[in-house]
Chains A and B, each alone.
Chain A
């Protein structure tokens, strides 16, 4: 069936094939297990919607009793937040998979249009979002039967989860397709840009809140609501005032684990009508998502995997400028050796190469072929770090995030390029793993070294332990995550979250990089080092199972 030049049958089959391929992945089970666990956490109070206010130096935390409506809201806002911040990394493998498996070329040679293909992919992404939200809703529902207060109302729990989660899922699905269709955004750059973009968008309207009550917040600000916090405020604010009429904290609800030292006061809320603007807001997100999917047809290149590189590396460009360094292809034809006159140098010692040569090769693979601006940024970090011309927390934070472009390829590279049989059947399957790790550790030491040397000089052994902890932790985590997930996105998401909270926002317990200058001499770097050792052992175990 065709409508407006669009074959719904084609769109359906693109979506169906992509969806089936996705839900048959065993890794999805892990994601679903985590989502189901979140459904449990919201019922036992580990994750809550709450308001905070202080009085006489006592922090009060107003959270709801676990009624169906409250649990539905909590599960919904948690699910929407997970989808908004992490959904991109879960959804974005589809086009990449088509490229690496050659499906893209097959589809590209058919009369399926880019619009049909990308819409089909968008529906598949939305289908996966439905599976994720369904899992969360079912888990929240079942756990409410055990842990909740009052009757279990499926409509409130499932309805809230889907009303908040599905539109944001549609939105993220569209953004994902747009990024993955854009050459410069489909790799680590896009992953990092999305992370910061989502963080900024999530809190973009918070300055407009001030000390206003939820209904007094300007409509334009409410319409930017992504994860539903403004709507939650409108729904539950009165219930807080019922138990504490003097509440003068933020008019927007917060959610999460709350503060350990706060006195928790429970309010009773059994549901209310969703504000009308919220329906418009959610509908807008769905439209935006579909719009992004259609906009992705502009940058999308259906033959991207077939097109050859023009050699974009620095060396290639340099060769272009200095012809004498050009490839042998430019030179006169050399004598082609005939097989029957072949005399090959005999190999007398197949163990002469050693670890050093392999390390050199892995170091080359790790460092080369970054865009020019990455090398420029690395040089700048090196210069600023060595001259000590920036505050330590700033330079350490920068040094801790810039090499993510290198680290995130660890563990994944051989899988992505189908090199596994060569490595497993070689004489150094473990050597390759350790060489890749060592190359990563060398680069980590270089970046952290130039940033942390003042701390090391100041604190002595404590600073050295901070440096060593980071050097062990980061490459080990990157390699283990890459090997297990077979994608760079898991590491990028986890690492960026950790970096954002720890080094950048200065939470000492998560500051693996020593940006806060409070971790030297504490157990924190030792703990991160221990996690790194554990991750390295996990990677070696993975290789052992492969061999």
Chain B
């Protein structure tokens, strides 16, 4: 299984590009898509899922150009858009039956998959309730279930954990990890720990351009020795923020413990700590912004 993008771009107006000149190749496994708001993540996902047409470039699924043959990817696709709707007067089971029919499953397979996915997403008790009565988190879980209903070879999920409580978020990560071994999964999120916990590679987008596509370790390694923690008086926090990239703060009785990314030790008492993917992401975006 292989998803390949060559020179993909989407122009919304003269001089306004959603994404631009993106070259990307994804094999089996989970691939995180990171980037600030407006970086073009959702646009890229809409192009991959054939919901939007690229202005330039091509997308290939197993070597087939999906612009010319969209069915090549639609046949094997599971897609959870960032903002999606449901038919509110259908029950969870009925809605999944509808999606299964759209995805071409027969009744027996659909029934079995729906049964299992309702259990997997912890929706069994609400299976016969109308979707209009669902909370945001429950609705999001229905979205996740529908994306998996056809056992997709290519799973594209855009901000899947938005609206989920911490327990369900961890649960979703586990679902993703347990089902990702034999498919290509593209996961876009602002929640870096979700990617850190699941992704085998990370693609970083900013202002519509692909900054890097690498494995999380390599991204983190680039920030090695540049992350420090130390305690500052509360009044000095503003100065620290102005001078350094602050990736975290913890309130303490004697001040504020700050976690900063800096090329040199920011204070004599600062301790170098092991960077996380979030540190690496912030560092990379900051450096690109400065450049």
A: residues with CB less than 8 A from B are 308-309, 311, 313, 316, 327-329, 331, 333-340, 342-354, 357-358, 360-361, 364-365, 368-369, 413, 417-429, 432, 547
- Measured in the bound complex, the distance between the Cα atoms of B145 and A422 in whole Å is 13
Q: What would 8 A/B residue contacts be, using CB atoms closer than 8 Å?
A: A309-B130, A329-B129, A339-B120, A339-B175, A344-B113, A347-B113, A368-B89, A426-B74
- A359: nearest chain-B partner, CB-CB: B101
In the complex, B37 has a CB within 8 A of chain A: no
- A429: nearest chain-B partner, CB-CB: B74
Q: Are B113 and A351 in contact (CB under 8 A)?
A: no
Q: Which residues of B contact A422 (CB under 8 A)?
A: 79, 81, 84, 99, 102, 146
**Nearest CB of A to B101, in Å:** 4
Q: Are B124 and A311 in contact (CB under 8 A)?
A: no
- A417: nearest chain-B partner, CB-CB: B85
Q: Which residues of A contact B33 (CB under 8 A)?
A: none
Q: Are B133 and A309 in contact (CB under 8 A)?
A: yes
- Measured in the bound complex, the distance between the Cα atoms of B102 and A365 in whole Å is 14
Convert B94-132 into 0s and 1s, putting 1 for each residue whose CB lies closer than 8 angstroms to a CB of A.
100111111111110110110011011010111111101
Partner of A427, one of B74, B90, B128: B74
**Nearest CB of B to A423, in Å:** 6
Top 7 nearest A-B pairs by Cβ distance? A418-B85, A347-B151, A352-B106, A327-B128, A339-B174, A426-B102, A337-B119
- B87: nearest chain-A partner, CB-CB: A417
**Nearest CB of A to B41, in Å:** 15
- Measured in the bound complex, the distance between the Cα atoms of B124 and A335 in whole Å is 9
Partner of A547, one of B50, B100, B110, B116: B50
Given contacts A308-B132, A344-B113, A421-B49, contact A547 B125 (CB under 8 A): no
In the complex, B148 has a CB within 8 A of chain A: yes
Q: Which residues of A contact B77 (CB under 8 A)?
A: 425
In the complex, B248 has a CB within 8 A of chain A: no
Q: Are B87 and A419 in contact (CB under 8 A)?
A: yes
Q: Are A424 and B50 in contact (CB under 8 A)?
A: yes
Which among B87, B112, B148 has the highest number of chain A CB atoms within 10 Å?
A: B87
- Measured in the bound complex, the distance between the Cα atoms of B178 and A428 in whole Å is 28
Partner of A337, one of B98, B116, B125, B146: B116
- Measured in the bound complex, the distance between the Cα atoms of B120 and A429 in whole Å is 28
**Nearest CB of A to B269, in Å:** 43
- B49: nearest chain-A partner, CB-CB: A425
Convert B172-205 into 0s and 1s, putting 1 for each residue whose CB lies closer than 8 angstroms to a CB of A.
0011011100000000000000000000000000
- Measured in the bound complex, the distance between the Cα atoms of B74 and A350 in whole Å is 10
Which among B46, B125, B150 has the highest number of chain A CB atoms within 10 Å?
A: B125
- Measured in the bound complex, the distance between the Cα atoms of B182 and A344 in whole Å is 13
Given contacts A344-B148, A361-B98, A368-B89, contact A350 B133 (CB under 8 A): no
Q: Are A344 and B98 in contact (CB under 8 A)?
A: no
- Measured in the bound complex, the distance between the Cα atoms of B94 and A340 in whole Å is 26
Partner of B86, one of A353, A364, A417: A417
Partner of A309, one of B98, B104, B132: B132
Q: Which residues of A contact B91 (CB under 8 A)?
A: 327
- Measured in the bound complex, the distance between the Cα atoms of B99 and A425 in whole Å is 11
Partner of B174, one of A340, A350, A421: A340
**Nearest CB of A to B64, in Å:** 14
Report the interface size class on chain B. 35 or more
Given contacts A368-B89, A426-B103, A427-B102, contact A342 B175 (CB under 8 A): yes
- Measured in the bound complex, the distance between the Cα atoms of B106 and A358 in whole Å is 10
- Measured in the bound complex, the distance between the Cα atoms of B46 and A309 in whole Å is 32
Q: Are B101 and A358 in contact (CB under 8 A)?
A: yes
- Measured in the bound complex, the distance between the Cα atoms of B106 and A410 in whole Å is 25
Q: Which residues of A contact B81 (CB under 8 A)?
A: 421-422
Q: Are A421 and B74 in contact (CB under 8 A)?
A: no
Given contacts A425-B77, A426-B74, contact A352 B105 (CB under 8 A): yes
**Nearest CB of B to A508, in Å:** 40
- Measured in the bound complex, the distance between the Cα atoms of B192 and A245 in whole Å is 89
- Measured in the bound complex, the distance between the Cα atoms of B87 and A331 in whole Å is 25
Q: Which residues of B contact A358 (CB under 8 A)?
A: 101-102
- Measured in the bound complex, the distance between the Cα atoms of B186 and A402 in whole Å is 47
- Measured in the bound complex, the distance between the Cα atoms of B130 and A369 in whole Å is 11
Q: Are B104 and A427 in contact (CB under 8 A)?
A: yes
Q: Which residues of B contact A349 (CB under 8 A)?
A: 106, 109
5 new A-B contacts at CB < 8 Å, known A316-B130, A350-B76, A428-B102: A308-B133, A327-B129, A334-B125, A344-B179, A347-B150
Q: Are A313 and B116 in contact (CB under 8 A)?
A: no
In the complex, B273 has a CB within 8 A of chain A: no
Partner of B87, one of A336, A347, A365: A365
Given contacts A344-B179, A352-B105, A422-B84, contact A369 B116 (CB under 8 A): no
In the complex, B222 has a CB within 8 A of chain A: no
Q: Are B120 and A350 in contact (CB under 8 A)?
A: no
- Measured in the bound complex, the distance between the Cα atoms of B76 and A156 in whole Å is 66
Partner of A425, one of B50, B89, B125, B175: B50
In the complex, B63 has a CB within 8 A of chain A: no
In the complex, B25 has a CB within 8 A of chain A: no
Given contacts A351-B104, A361-B98, contact A344 B125 (CB under 8 A): no
Q: Which residues of A contact B122 (CB under 8 A)?
A: 336
Q: Which residues of B contact A353 (CB under 8 A)?
A: 100-101, 103-107, 110
**Nearest CB of B to A382, in Å:** 24
- B89: nearest chain-A partner, CB-CB: A369
- Measured in the bound complex, the distance between the Cα atoms of B77 and A345 in whole Å is 17
- Measured in the bound complex, the distance between the Cα atoms of B112 and A547 in whole Å is 30
In the complex, B284 has a CB within 8 A of chain A: no
Partner of A328, one of B70, B98, B127: B127
Q: Which B residues from 52 to 75 make CB contacts under 8 A with A?
A: 70-71, 74-75
**Nearest CB of B to A337, in Å:** 4
Q: Which residues of A contact B74 (CB under 8 A)?
A: 425-427, 429
**Nearest CB of A to B165, in Å:** 15
Q: Are B125 and A333 in contact (CB under 8 A)?
A: yes
- A340: nearest chain-B partner, CB-CB: B178
Q: Which residues of B contact A369 (CB under 8 A)?
A: 89
